[in-house]
Structures are given as structure tokens and as C-alpha cells.
């Protein structure tokens, strides 16, 4: 599978080029367009798996697109404005913020995990995805705003609302950002993720829930 990302960074769209009989799995609703020989199949992967995905903040269903008989292409986009990036699968795999997942090669196994984000008011990140694959594969993730890759060399502290994905070689723990709870509350930083070890972290330059809250509270109550 070959991926070309256009219209970056604000309104990125991925063009996935499939070889004959090659397939790509994508988040429900991500398809923008496709060749007519591409066959779409909707699957939940079983009721429990589907439900678990729903709790994880994704949709119940995922779609598999297969190019039948000849090469074909699928165009994919996320719902929010922002950049996308293709991750080449590594032996250890990645943790992905669930709303950032867009698509992956069929050999990538996506598991929904409790993020260890103990707090129920975290907004994001109560559930995260773990992407692993035997052998080479790719995963497409999307961000709200720009994507910046940071190299963690020891210690980094990142606001949970700005996380997109990270190498699963990194150890992480979620906690308050300041010295105490009052300071953390006043600092406005909410929950942060402390990373230890070596690896890469992709962050998004805007925080979707913060943006939504800010614009939302200027709107009249929905009726």
C-alpha cells in the first residue's frame, strides 16, 4: 500500500494506492472517494470488539477496502481540520489516541486499551489504541492542527489533549501537571502524560476538546 498525503497541513487527505487484491482498513466515515473496482466491506469484528471500540471513542464499525482484480485507490480524510502522518509499523508498535486513528494495513492489529488514565474527567485518553503488526505494515493517523514529531530522550511532559500517538517503547503515566492539585487546577493544564525512556511522540498543535469547549460556550444551548 502506497500513501500520498495532500492538502497538508490544514485539510489533509490521504490517497491510498492499492495493488490488485490489496486491502486497507479504515475508520467508518473516513472514505472520500474510491475506484469502482474497490470493494467495501463493513465489519465490526464481533459484537464485543465493536462495543469496545465504541467505548474507545471510535465508531462501532470499520470498513475494509479491497481492490478487486486490478489496482485501485481510496481517498481518506478525517473529520477535523489538520495534518495526517503515516507510521511505518515497528516491532513494538504504537499507542494511538483513539480519535486519531484513520486507517491501517490489514495486518495491523488494533486493540482498545484502558489508557491507565485513571481520571474519569480526562475527556480524552481514557481509552487508547495499541497498534501492533507482525511484519511490515502501515498506520495512518490524523491530528487536529499541525503534527509535530518529538523525540523523547529521557523525559517529556505532554498535555493529554495534544497527544496523537507514540512509540510503545516509551513508558508513560498520567498525572497532574503542577506540584499540587490546586496549582494544577489554576495552571489550567489539566492532565499531562509523563513519558520516560527513548522513543518518538507525535503531538497535535491544537487540543480538540479545548477548542470545542471554547467555541461551544459562546453558542446558545442546543434545543
Contacts with other proteins, residue ranges (CB under 8 A): 9-10, 81-82, 145-146, 148, 150, 154-159, 162, 177-179, 183, 186-190, 194, 203, 205-207, 210-211, 214-215, 217-220, 222-223
What cell numbers appear for 117 in the block? 488514565
Q: Indicate the residue among 46 and 221 with the shorter CB distance to other proteins.
A: 221
Taking the complex as a whole, how short is the minimal distance between the CB of residue 129 and other proteins, in angstroms?
Answer: 21
Q: Indicate the residue among 62 and 162 with the shorter CB distance to other proteins.
A: 162
Q: Indicate the residue among 7 and 55 with the shorter CB distance to other proteins.
A: 7
What cell numbers appear for 189 in the block? 493544564
Q: DSSP letter string over 74-128?
A: EEE--SSSB-EEEEEP-SS-EEEEGGGEEEE-TTEEEEEEE-S---TT-SS-SEE
The values of phi and psi at residue 177, to 5°, are -90, -30
Taking the complex as a whole, how short is the minimal distance between the CB of residue 200 and other proteins, in angstroms?
Answer: 13
Q: Indicate the residue among 40 and 183 with the shorter CB distance to other proteins.
A: 183
Taking the complex as a whole, how short is the minimal distance between the CB of residue 163 and other proteins, in angstroms?
Answer: 9
CA–CA dist 188, 165 (Å, integer): 23
| 195 beta partners | 156, 172
Taking the complex as a whole, how short is the minimal distance between the CB of residue 141 and other proteins, in angstroms?
Answer: 16
Amino acid at each position: 500500500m502506497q500513501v500520498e498525503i495532500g492538502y497538508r497541513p490544514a485539510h489533509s487527505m490521504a490517497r491510498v494506492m492499492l495493488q490488485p487484491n490489496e486491502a486497507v482498513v479504515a475508520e467508518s466515515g473516513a472514505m472520500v472517494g474510491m475506484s469502482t473496482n474497490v470493494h467495501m466491506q463493513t465489519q465490526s469484528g464481533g459484537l464485543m470488539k465493536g462495543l469496545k471500540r465504541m467505548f474507545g471513542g471510535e465508531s462501532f464499525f470499520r470498513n475494509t477496502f479491497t481492490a478487486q482484480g486490478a489496482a485501485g485507490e481510496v481517498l481518506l480524510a478525517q473529520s477535523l481540520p489538520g495534518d495526517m502522518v503515516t507510521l511505518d509499523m515497528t516491532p513494538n508498535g504504537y499507542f494511538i489516541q483513539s480519535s486519531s486513528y484513520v486507517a491501517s494495513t490489514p495486518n495491523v492489529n488494533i486493540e482498545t486499551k484502558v489508557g491507565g488514565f485513571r481520571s474519569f474527567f480526562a475527556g480524552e485518553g481514557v481509552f487508547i489504541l495499541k497498534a501492533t503488526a507482525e511484519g511490515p505494515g502501515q498506520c495512518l493517523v490524523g491530528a487536529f492542527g499541525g503534527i509535530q514529531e518529538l523525540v523523547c530522550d529521557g523525559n517529556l511532559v505532554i498535555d493529554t489533549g495534544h497527544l496523537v500517538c507514540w512509540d510503545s517503547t516509551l513508558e508513560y503515566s498520567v498525572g497532574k501537571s503542577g506540584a499540587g492539585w490546586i496549582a494544577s487546577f489554576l495552571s489550567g493544564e489539566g492532565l499531562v502524560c509523563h513519558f520516560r525512556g527513548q522513543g518518538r511522540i507525535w503531538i497535535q498543535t491544537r487540543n480538540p476538546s479545548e477548542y470545542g469547549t471554547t467555541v461551544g460556550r459562546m453558542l446558545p444551548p442546543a434545543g
